[in-house]
Amino acid sequence: MPRKVRQLIADLEKAGFEIRGGKGSHRNFVHSKGVRVTISGHPGDDAKHYQERDVKRALEAAKD
């Protein structure tokens, strides 16, 4: 079962990402290390496989 968009957002915020706005259902997140990622969709929507991949990569990049 795919995770929800709200779970991806929670993971990003827990890792120190800050929301920097967006347009419509898009949200731009940025980390103090310069890592950026955009998540689209409403919080209750199922996350797409590429969104989960992008969040995973952003979290790994911010950890280094």
Question: Letter for the amino acid at 46?
Answer: D
Give the pLDDT of residue 61: 96
Averaged over 10-30, what is the pLDDT?
96
SS3 of 60, please? helix
Percent of the chain scoring above 70 in pLDDT: 100
Averaged over 40-51, what is the pLDDT?
96
Give the pLDDT of residue 1: 83
Specify whether the CB–CB gap between 35 and 54 falls below 8 A. no
SS3 of 29, please? strand
CB atoms within 10 A of CB 40: 15
Averaged over 33-59, what is the pLDDT?
97
Query: How confident is residue 64, by pLDDT bands cut at 50, 70 and 90?
Result: confident
CA 52 to chain centre: 8
